[in-house]
Amino acid sequence: MSLMEDLYGPEARKKQEAEEEKRKKMEKEKENLLLEKEKEREKEKEKYASLPDRAVAVIIDTIIVWVLSFVVGVVIGFMSVLMMIVDVYVDFESTATTVIFYLIGFCILLLYFTILEGPLGGGRTIGKRIVGIKVTTEDGKVPSYRATIIRNILRIIDGLFFYLVGAIQINSSSKNQRFGDRSAKTIVVKV
């Protein structure tokens, strides 16, 4: 047997064909594995609440918080009128009064989201209930009040530019998390 037959003979061709078949089979298996992983990622992604669902829920909740703040403002205004009657003056144009009203509004917002997204509300504000989503920890439990406080204080950052900052973070996250979610180790899922 010559060297040429060893390199190009029928046995060599069979060996090359077997190796080529083996290589193709391995490539196919690798391709199938990648497709399976991609399907798993897509399936995993489907359980997270979408940006439009979250946006609708936050709009509903914001309207509710505005109404609550309005009611509290009316009560405070009524109490101020009563205080004027008994000769106690309240300066509604002062910076301190304005700051106090903003703080009251922020406290209402923080209480609303913290209580309803925590153990008492089961992770669901009124807006989230209507849309069909809820807040959970990354392992699927109802978040603690500590987690919901962290999550909602950071709403200040996420809410910048009409929630554009939060929307960008949600779209760039594999779990659709905004900064507050990442910091509190929470996720928003479909129910």
What pLDDT was estimated at residue 6?
59
Give tens-digit pLDDT for 16-63: 888 889 999 999 999 888 888 887 777 666 799 999 999 999 999 999
Give tens-digit pLDDT for 27-38: 999 988 888 888
Angle CA 149–152–156, to nearest 5: 135
Question: Is the model's pLDDT at 3 over the cut of 60?
Answer: no
Question: Is the model's pLDDT at 167 over the cut of 70?
Answer: yes
In sequence order, what are the beta bridge partners of 186?
A: 137
Question: Is the model's pLDDT at 1 over the cut of 60?
Answer: no
In this prediction, residue 188 has a pLDDT band, given cuts at 50, 70 and 90, of very high
84 to each of 79, 101, 149, how far by Cα in Å?
9, 18, 37
Packing angle of the helix pair 160-172, 51-85 (nearest 10 deg) = 150
What pLDDT was estimated at residue 36?
83
Give tens-digit pLDDT for 106-136: 999 999 999 999 999 999 999 999 999 999 9
Question: Is the model's pLDDT at 166 over the cut of 90?
Answer: yes
Sequence-separated (6 or more) residues with CB below 8 Å from residue 98: none
- Where is pLDDT greater, at 187 or 82? 187
Cα–Cα nearest to 158, from 186, 119, 138 = 186
Sign of torsion, CA 64 68 69 73? Answer: positive
